[in-house]
Amino acid sequence: MLKSSLLLIPVFALSLTAQAQTPAGVQPMDPDYAAQVKQWTTRPEFMSPLVDHLPTSSTVPSPKAILGYNIGEPKRLTYYADVLRYYHALASASPRVKVIDIGKTEEGRESIIVFVGSEDSIANLETNRKNLARLADPRGLTNDQAKEIIAHTKPIYTLSGGLHSAELGPPEMLMELAYRLATEDSDLIKKVRENVVVAIMPVADPDGRDRSIDWYNRYQKDITDNNAVFEAGVPYWGKYTKHDDNRDINYAGLANQNLLKWYLDWHPPIMHDLHESVWFLYTFSGQAPQNTLLDPILWGELPFFANYEMSQLTKMGMPGVWTHGYVDGWSPGYVAFMSSNHNGMIRMYEIMGNAGATTMHRFIPETKPELKGGGGGPGGDVTKRQWYRPLPPYKDVMWSLRNNTNYAETGVLTALQLTSTIPGTVLDDFYTKSKNSIHSGETEAPYAFVIPSNQEDMTRVAFVTDILRMQGIEIGRATSEIKVKEGTYPAGSLVVKSNQPYGRLAKTLLGKQTDPDPELQTYDDSAWTMGLMTRTTITPIADKSILDTATTPVDHYTPPSAIAEVKSAVAYAIPDHGSPNLITLRYALKDADIQIAEAAFKSGSAEIPAGSFIVPASAFDQLKSVATPLGLDAIALTGKPTVAIHPAGLPRVAIFSTWNGTQDVGWVRFTFDQYKVPYDLIFKEQILAGGLHDKYDLILIPTQARSSKALVTDIPKSKQPLAYTKTAEFKFLGDYGSSDDITGGMGAQGVAELQKFAESGGLLVTLGASSALPPDFGITPKIDTSNPTARLYAPGPIVEAEITKPTNPIFYGYSATTIPVRYANGPLFRLDPDQNKADVLMRYPGGDKSVLSGLFNGADEIKGRAAILRTAVGKGEIILFTTNPVWRWQNVGEFRMMFNTILNYKNLTN
Ligand SMILES: [Zn+2]
């Protein structure tokens, strides 16, 4: 064993060259490292023979040589610039390491990938990349040719850490791992180096890491009692979201986009994402419910790897390694799922961490019920023995950053060991899954999805095609009319055929989600069907002849825009077919006197729907330059429309955020930023300052807290103020808002200010769970909320909603009266009989038949309930959405309801 032999070796006597001729097992080791990591590990069984030593090298720098400390030192965390510094130093010193830049983040940090392998592997990366690309798209490849390629190709095993910024351990561990892989000469590591190319994404959310470390250093470093940890973490990780960067199904985040782009270049068959939460190490095996469209091979591979790790770490004496019972294989929206979605394999760990680097006493609450301790989770008490948890974690434990490092690194090395033992099998699986995906497109309906080119609004189609293309899915444009059993579609319609390498992913994203077992729960959303989410027509085709349709490849679909100047025009109508881009146009032409038609009218043969913009002819040049790239049409009007019109509003908009719930607000900010809608982001500080109506016409309260009470109380007052401010020492704090004390919430005084705002003529718009605030705090005395029964279980299904006041401006752009919406578990309203029923603008038909995609148990309970409600308060109004019209970067089909409250803020009583 390395552990026992290292004491016999004179550490300083051997140079790197000498090491190459030294038999395995006698490589010189760093005695300081061994002593320190032993000391930082809280119990002997939390150490492993794979990581209790670290080779010395005279040429290749260890983390300590660059950073000044060994990995896992208590209270020591590495900022992103230093992480980069380390990998670049490692790469310049070792021919076994190469770093490539893959793109910038929102805050301008560079995302990188670090390759580690044998000298030969690193020298031949490009050949290996091309070989993997052939296996990923095996069209035209015979099995013999594939075999030949596999014999000369090494699987890329990708590791990523730090996607969740408060989970600070894995990015530290990965630096040590990279060094170990590059320098150690044990049989295990040599075999990994020889047979596998390891690719590391050191920090998957670089922006969030720096902010999280600043917060830890400012507030949490010296807290050793888990019970004294502040309830609040740092308000922001990346620019917009926190945990949801791992629910980013449509790749809104730039770091995620960079990784996807890299993935589609390099095709790593395995992608392993490292997280921190449950005790001590959970390894993902993809439990039910599973996405049954994915290849059955995958569901065999996942538990195979997970069980191997569990058995090996257990063999090494490490307790608490388990699988199953936590995360399912349903949603394709987790970042590392990009691999399974593209016929590879997602792997994932949850490792116990202390949200920092401080050694801490941790315990399961049952053992000390008066204290909080964590360690539960969807699987219940993780310290209970189960068939999938044969040696459970302890209930009461001192835990350190080094323990976290030991578990993560030992687990990963074991997974790499397995991969290095069966590299050909891993590649053959990858090839076979890719081949099967193409084949299943020829044997299993739907054989294609058709996106008709004659839809009223093609801008929402472009949203869909952009995402499909970003995912590497091929789209064709029909060269002539399509005639299949499902119908006739015009030439130019877009066809996504299933017989392509990513045909299964197309089915996953475009098809409906139907859960075979209503008793199961899903870890995240149960539905995401893109056609429903975007309100576009995307038709699954079961007529196999669709595969013979002649198409030309579409690299990027640009929605058409028809705008021509007519000299005699007095104005131009921008027909409103529901494009969210109308609001971008409005703000881009903010100096123009744009009016909105309140009813449909005709101009020549053209039908111009209610909600259409009327733009003065004098603004034509600007209109053309802005509207063309937005995919909007303009129709010349030779006379003023005869229907009623009102100005397209430019209200002063504020978006309210608690300090605890910045993530859901972050998606709203992201969406507003994408559509270039200006707003102020306000917090309790601005609410409590009062005079809100002097500053704003519209205040939007996105869903962001579990209850209306939590929205008001936010982060409870703690012993000391918690400042989120930028200082010379903590330069990454204080972005996107700042406060001398983020605790305390807006309180009753804040609610009173919101009431004053509405009563004095402001428009208050509440989304999702936040819509319980006005009734619960007495702002709307005639509306009550009631609780659903425990039977109601609705993890983000897509349901029907019925527009009951189609003439209300909120529904401009919606030609149908029944539309798909994502069910957001907003409050169920009970209306006072006196309440004017006309104030219900949209309601849920309810019942099982109204569930269009995903899982909804108890859909009867929402029968007839209000989905959107309007109520007058003093001189102002409140619009209460129980839906969430801005859910992540997904439900584009609902965005317009939100935007319409802005564009028509003075005219919502129609
Ligand atoms: Zn996580």
Q: Which helix (H) or strand (E) holds 174?
A: helix 169-183
Nearest by Cα to 87 from 118, 112, 107 = 112
Task: Give distance in angstroms: CA of 854 to centre of ligand 1.
Answer: 24
Name residues whose C-beta falls within 8 Å of residue 342's C-beta, 6 or more positions apart in sequence. 136, 263, 264, 267, 471, 472, 501, 502, 505
Task: Give distance in angstroms: CA of 212 to centre of ligand 1.
Answer: 14
- Residue 446 one-letter amino acid: P
Task: Give distance in angstroms: CA of 479 to centre of ligand 1.
Answer: 46
Task: Give distance in angstroms: CA of 65 to centre of ligand 1.
Answer: 30
pTM for the predicted model, two decimal places = 0.95
Task: Give distance in angstroms: CA of 738 to centre of ligand 1.
Answer: 25
Q: Using the predicted structure, report yes or no on whether residue 859 has a pLDDT greater than 70.
A: yes
Instruction: Collapse the DSSP code of 420 into the 3-class scheme (helix H, G, I; strand E, B; otherwise coil) and give the result.
Output: helix
Task: Give distance in angstroms: CA of 424 to centre of ligand 1.
Answer: 31
Task: Give distance in angstroms: CA of 164 to centre of ligand 1.
Answer: 5
Render pLDDT for 695-707 as a digit per residue (tens, 0 to 9): 999 999 999 999 9
Task: Give distance in angstroms: CA of 312 to centre of ligand 1.
Answer: 24
Task: Give distance in angstroms: CA of 242 to centre of ligand 1.
Answer: 10
Task: Give distance in angstroms: CA of 219 to centre of ligand 1.
Answer: 21
Task: Give distance in angstroms: CA of 276 to centre of ligand 1.
Answer: 5
Task: Give distance in angstroms: CA of 275 to centre of ligand 1.
Answer: 4
Q: Using the predicted structure, report yes or no on whether residue 487 has a pLDDT greater than 80.
A: yes
Render pLDDT for 611-627 as a digit per residue (tens, 0 to 9): 999 999 999 999 999 99
Task: Give distance in angstroms: CA of 237 to centre of ligand 1.
Answer: 12
Nearest by Cα to 239 from 249, 250, 254 = 254
Task: Give distance in angstroms: CA of 380 to centre of ligand 1.
Answer: 18
Determine which of 91-95, 715-719, 742-746, 852-856 has the lowest per-residue pLDDT on average.
Answer: 715-719
Task: Give distance in angstroms: CA of 563 to centre of ligand 1.
Answer: 48
Nearest by Cα to 867 from 885, 844, 850 = 844
Q: What percent of the chain has pLDDT over 90?
A: 90
Instruction: For residue 385, count CB atoms less than 10 angstroms from its CB and return exposed for 0-12, middle for 13-18, buried for 19 or more.
Output: exposed
Task: Give distance in angstroms: CA of 168 to centre of ligand 1.
Answer: 10
Task: Give distance in angstroms: CA of 326 to centre of ligand 1.
Answer: 13
Cα 122 from Cα 217, distance rounded (Å): 37
Phi, psi of 251 (to 5 degrees): 55, 55
Task: Give distance in angstroms: CA of 539 to centre of ligand 1.
Answer: 36
End-to-end alpha-carbon separation of the chain, Å? 80
Q: Using the predicted structure, report yes or no on whether residue 181 has a pLDDT greater than 60.
A: yes
Confidence of residue 516 (pLDDT cuts 50, 70, 90): low
Give buried/exposed letters for 612-634 (b at 16+ CB in 10 A, else e): bbbbbbebbeebeebbbebbbbb
CA quadruple 364, 276, 528, 768: dihedral, nearest 10: 60
Task: Give distance in angstroms: CA of 163 to centre of ligand 1.
Answer: 7
Determine which of 125-134, 226-235, 462-471, 831-840 has the lowest per-residue pLDDT on average.
Answer: 831-840
Task: Give distance in angstroms: CA of 725 to centre of ligand 1.
Answer: 25
Render pLDDT for 434-484 as a digit per residue (tens, 0 to 9): 999 999 999 999 999 999 999 999 999 999 999 999 999 999 999 999 999
Cα 86 from Cα 202, distance rounded (Å): 11
Cα 204 from Cα 102, distance rounded (Å): 12
Task: Give distance in angstroms: CA of 462 to centre of ligand 1.
Answer: 32
Render pLDDT for 631-688 as a digit per residue (tens, 0 to 9): 999 999 999 899 999 999 999 999 999 999 999 999 999 999 999 999 999 999 999 9
Task: Give distance in angstroms: CA of 732 to centre of ligand 1.
Answer: 21
SS (H, E, C) 734-748: CCCCCECCCCCCCHH
Q: Using the predicted structure, report yes or no on whether residue 515 has a pLDDT greater than 80.
A: no
Render pLDDT for 63-75 as a digit per residue (tens, 0 to 9): 999 999 999 999 9
Confidence of residue 719 (pLDDT cuts 50, 70, 90): confident
Cα 635 from Cα 605, distance rounded (Å): 11
Judge whether 415 and 347 are in contact, CB under 8 Å: yes
Higher-confidence residue: 691 or 718? 691
Cα 404 from Cα 398, distance rounded (Å): 12
Judge whether 408 and 72 are in contact, CB under 8 Å: no
Task: Give distance in angstroms: CA of 436 to centre of ligand 1.
Answer: 32
Q: Which helix (H) or strand (E) holds 101?
A: strand 97-104
Render pLDDT for 297-355 as a digit per residue (tens, 0 to 9): 999 999 999 999 999 999 999 999 999 989 999 999 999 999 999 999 999 999 999 99
Task: Give distance in angstroms: CA of 248 to centre of ligand 1.
Answer: 13
Average pLDDT over residues 744-767: 98
Task: Give distance in angstroms: CA of 521 to centre of ligand 1.
Answer: 19
pLDDT value, residue 1: 34
- Would you tell me how many other CB atoms lie within 10 Å of the CB of residue 785? 17
Task: Give distance in angstroms: CA of 233 to centre of ligand 1.
Answer: 14
Cα 614 from Cα 121, distance rounded (Å): 63
Return the structure tokens found at 220.
């949490």
Task: Give distance in angstroms: CA of 169 to centre of ligand 1.
Answer: 11
Q: What percent of the chain has pLDDT over 70?
A: 94
Task: Give distance in angstroms: CA of 357 to centre of ligand 1.
Answer: 16
Task: Give distance in angstroms: CA of 678 to centre of ligand 1.
Answer: 32
134 phi-psi bin (left φ>0, alpha ψ -120 to 50, beta other): alpha
Task: Give distance in angstroms: CA of 165 to centre of ligand 1.
Answer: 8
Determine which of 39-48, 626-635, 831-840 has the lowest per-residue pLDDT on average.
Answer: 831-840
Return the structure tokens found at 761.
């003529």
Signed CA dihedral, 89, 94, 97, 102: sign only: positive
Task: Give distance in angstroms: CA of 365 to centre of ligand 1.
Answer: 21
Task: Give distance in angstroms: CA of 699 to centre of ligand 1.
Answer: 32
Task: Give distance in angstroms: CA of 354 to centre of ligand 1.
Answer: 13
Judge whether 648 and 613 are in contact, CB under 8 Å: yes
Summary mean pLDDT of the chain: 94
Task: Give distance in angstroms: CA of 48 to centre of ligand 1.
Answer: 24
Name residues whose C-beta falls within 8 Å of residue 691's C-beta, 6 or more positions apart in sequence. none
Task: Give distance in angstroms: CA of 420 to centre of ligand 1.
Answer: 27
Q: Using the predicted structure, report yes or no on whether residue 271 has a pLDDT greater than 60.
A: yes
DSSP codes joined into one string, 65-76: HHHSS-TT-TT-
pLDDT value, residue 782: 87
Task: Give distance in angstroms: CA of 524 to centre of ligand 1.
Answer: 13
Task: Give distance in angstroms: CA of 246 to centre of ligand 1.
Answer: 8
Task: Give distance in angstroms: CA of 100 to centre of ligand 1.
Answer: 25
pLDDT value, residue 5: 40
Task: Give distance in angstroms: CA of 199 to centre of ligand 1.
Answer: 20
Q: How far is CA 200 from CA 73, 112, 213, in A?
A: 22, 8, 21
Render pLDDT for 152-170 as a digit per residue (tens, 0 to 9): 999 999 999 999 999 999 9
Determine which of 36-45, 381-390, 436-445, 701-710 has the lowest per-residue pLDDT on average.
Answer: 381-390
Task: Give distance in angstroms: CA of 278 to centre of ligand 1.
Answer: 10
Task: Give distance in angstroms: CA of 261 to centre of ligand 1.
Answer: 22
Return the structure tokens found at 711.
């929205």
Task: Give distance in angstroms: CA of 351 to centre of ligand 1.
Answer: 9
Task: Give distance in angstroms: CA of 426 to centre of ligand 1.
Answer: 26
Task: Give distance in angstroms: CA of 162 to centre of ligand 1.
Answer: 8
Nearest by Cα to 733 from 307, 233, 247 = 233
